[in-house]
Structure 1
Amino acid sequence: MRLAIATENGYVAQHFGRCPGFTIVDIEDGKIINKNLIENPGYKAHQPGQVPMFLRNQSVTHVIAGGMGPNAVMNLQAAGIKVIVGVTGKVEDVIAQFLSGTLSGGESLCEHGHGNCKH
């Protein structure tokens, strides 16, 4: 299993497509075997569909973010990637919650066109 957590300054980023990077976490048998931060290729020049394709090519199975637009959700799900949005907090805490089965998502914190998402 491979998680990609939208990350900004050690916290779950509010906006998936415009976060500076992703914390990539490899999990086997319920344990972290590898973790690193990679740059978001769409951070400086965001293009629709670019980031979901990048994460699919990284063999990501789950994406965690504070918020995400509906097209990104659709593209990730079409690639077989599970999406969890509405998540806040420190990345380390979110990883622990995911591993323990207590991570719960909610509504996307980024609603395009409604002024709630700070790009």
Structure 2
Amino acid sequence: MKIAVTYENGQVFQHFGHCEQFKLYDAADGAVTSSQVVSAVGSGHGALAGFLQSHGVDTLICGGIGAGARTALAEAGIQLCPGVSGGADESVEALLKGTLSYDPDTQCAHHHEEGHQCHSGSCGEDKHGCSGNQ
């Protein structure tokens, strides 16, 4: 199993489309066997699902994520665990133990702006290809 986590300074990065790094974990028999941090700079919203697929990722742990990215990940066959915050390593350990707390309905309705926080539901904005609709 290969797990990717949106990654920044050891934490789950909170905006999938702005993610510059992923931490990739190889896991077998319920344990991490190896991990590495890879750069995704220049990939952008539309290409990130393909980037993850090219790395053989089965499952993605992330914070907020827009509807378009959700669709691209589903089409790539990547299981999504959104709405996660905290340490990346701890999140993967929890996933492997079956105790990861995540919100399947988490959406980031638009790009981060002053005061914007990703949340469950939608604020209705439609910017830069990220739909504000659920």
Question: TM-score when scaled to structure 2?
Answer: 0.78
1:116 maps to 117
Distance 2:91 2:46 in 1: 25
Matched, 1:79 2:79: no
CA RMSD of aligned residues (A): 1.8
1:88 maps to 85
- Whether the aligned pair in 1 keeps the contact of 2:31 and 2:93 (CA below 8 Å) is no
- Whether the aligned pair in 2 keeps the contact of 1:109 and 1:116 (CA below 8 Å) is no
SS in 1 for 2:106: coil
Relative contact order higher in (CA < 8 Å, ≥ 6 apart): 1
Report how many aligned residue pairs link the two structures. 114
Identity of aligned residues (%): 36
Equivalent position amino acid for 2:109 in 1: E
Distance 1:75 1:109 in 2: 14
Shift, 1:88, TM fit: 0.4
Deviation readout 1:82-118 (Å, 9 max, x if unpaired): 011000001121111111110021142622169325x
Unaligned runs of 5+ in 1: none
Unaligned runs of 5+ in 2: 119-134
